[in-house]
Amino acid sequence: MATEVFAPAKINLTLHVTGQRSDGYHLLDSLVVFADFGDRLRVTPASEMSITVTGPFAEGVPLDQRNLCWRAAELFGETVSIELEKNLPHAAGIGGGSSDAAAVISAMEQIFDRAIQGDPLTLGADVPVCAVGKAVRMQGIGDQLGLCHFPPLCAVLVNPGVLVPTPLVFQGLTSKENPGMGALPQPDVPSDVWDWLVAQRNDLQAPAIAAQPVIGGVLEGLSGLAGVRLARMSGSGATCFGIFEHAEFAKRAAQHIQKAHPDWWVRAVQLS
Ligand SMILES: C[C@@](CO)(OP(=O)(O)O)[C@H](O)COP(=O)(O)OP(=O)(O)OC[C@H]1O[C@@H](n2ccc(N)nc2=O)[C@H](O)[C@@H]1O
Ligand SMILES: Nc1ncnc2c1ncn2[C@@H]1O[C@H](COP(=O)(O)OP(=O)(O)O)[C@@H](O)[C@H]1O
């Protein structure tokens, strides 16, 4: 029997790089939330592994072991057929592949009625956080996770369609030992977190802009729109997000940006 699962876009509201391990991986302090928009998957037990990909961003998604979904199933240790509806741009800083892998693990845990034995971190640093699927503080290289109390936020996601390879962006950091987030706020409503969020950073933003200057243009564009409280890049880019005072501002901002840039990927979403 097929099991359907949702793989939401992952957004790093903050991304502080606080150090580097001897194996080259960077230590992070990041507040991660998830959008109400993402990929959709159907996972069915099968005698051999297979994957089919449909949807607006199907092109270029690997159809073999290079696909994180496939590797997640192998780590789980059973064969399945995976149907992936790819709605998220890839290599975009919103964890598409990682969220898909976490969704496959969740589906297989339901289907085979057991927990995964292998370590999802071996699939990628972002897979454990994507398995949480709600507001979480991520530290270490992505292996230390603590649930957070954070209000839902109205946002617009914008991807200008340029690729920024994650290792290249990390290599472009001028400082690898930066301050972490400190104590998180204890908010009740979105307005309680706006000032705190503005005071935080994404340390990968500057090297990503250096690699792809259009990211700076996206952030400038978002910053000038009515009702915006914050514009920042997610992950290693190139997707940026704007946080808006309410959903109507976000909806109008999304329409405005899409009209000005028909070839960009733009979505008004709720983050939680
Ligand atoms: C930067 C982040 C922030 O959430 O997001 P994305 O931009 O990928 O969405 C993640 O840490 C990315 O996680 P993920 O994409 O799973 O990373 P991996 O496949 O494990 O590693 C890809 C490459 O990124 C670099 N890397 C990744 C994570 C980390 N903590 N330090 C690193 O230096 C390494 O160069 C590594 O070879
Ligand atoms: N299920 C998947 N969906 C998208 N890309 C995938 C998937 N599995 C593997 N990949 C590969 O991983 C790369 C990074 O994709 P993704 O996880 O979306 O980016 P990011 O790590 O920036 O959030 C892609 O270029 C693609 O070749």
User: For a substitution probing ligand 1, which of 129, 166, 239 has the most ligand atoms within 8 Å of its CB?
Assistant: 166
Ligand nearest to the CA of 86: 2
CB atoms within 10 A of CB 67: 21
Note whether 106 and 161 are same-domain residues. Answer: no
Please list the residues that pair with 6 across neighbouring strands.
40
Exposure string of 93-119, with b = 16+ CB inside 10 Å and e = fewer, is bbbbbbbbbbbbbbbbeebeeeebeee
Take residue 202 and report the two structure tokens written for it.
């994404």
Q: Which domain holds residue 83?
A: 3-140
* The model scores a pTM over 0.90: yes
Start-to-end CA span in the chain (Å): 30
> Are 165 and 67 contained in the same domain?
no
Domain count, the chain: 2
Q: Is 146 annotated as a binding residue?
A: no
Whether 216 and 187 map to the same domain: the answer is yes
Domain with 82 in it: what CATH number? 3.30.230.10
202 lines ligand 1 (CB under 6 A): no
Q: Is 208 labelled a binding residue?
A: no
Q: Are residues 177 and 127 in the same domain?
A: no
Q: How many CA atoms lie within 13 A of 245 on its CB side?
A: 6
- State yes or no: is 126 an active-site residue: yes
Of 77, 105, 140, the residue at which a domain comes to its end is 140
HEC readout, 122-181: HHCCCHHHHHHCCCEEEEECCCEEEECCCCCEEEEEEECCCCCCHHHHHHCCCCCCCCCC
β-pairing, 228-233 with 153-159?
Answer: unpaired
Q: Which of 248, 232, 228 is nearest to 94 (CA)?
A: 232
Is pLDDT at 43 greater than 90 in this prediction? Answer: yes
Task: Give pLDDT, residue 1.
Answer: 84
Q: Which of 39, 100, 126, 203 is catalytic?
A: 126
Cα–Cα distance between 41 and 5 in angstroms, integer? 5
232 band by pLDDT with thresholds 50, 70 and 90 = very high
Residue 190 lies in a domain: yes
CA distance 231 to 258: 16
Separation of alpha carbons 264 and 108, rounded Å: 34
In a domain, 145, yes or no: no
- Note the Cα 223 to chain centre separation in Å: 21
Judge whether residue 104 has pLDDT over 90. Answer: yes
Q: What is the mean pLDDT of residues 151-173?
A: 97
Asked if residue 84 and residue 161 are part of one domain, the reply reads no
* CATH number, position 204: 3.30.70.890
95 CA from centroid of ligand 2 (Å): 7
Mapping DSSP to helix (H, G, I), strand (E, B) and coil, where does residue 204 land?
coil
Residues 159 and 265 in one domain: yes
**Domain's final residue, options 140, 174, 192:** 140
Residue keyed to tokens 């290693």: 236
Q: Is 176 a catalytic residue?
A: no
Pick the last residue of a domain from 114, 140, 166.
140
User: For residue 107, which amino acid is it?
Assistant: A
Q: Is there an atom of ligand 1 within 6 Å of 203 CB?
A: no
62 lines ligand 2 (CB under 6 A): yes
Single-letter amino acid, residue 81: S
Complex-level ipTM: 0.97
Using one digit for the tens of pLDDT, what is the confidence trace for 47-103? Answer: 999 999 999 999 999 999 999 999 999 999 999 999 999 999 999 999 999 999 999
pLDDT band at 247; cut points 50, 70, 90:
very high
- Residue 80 and residue 30 share a domain: yes
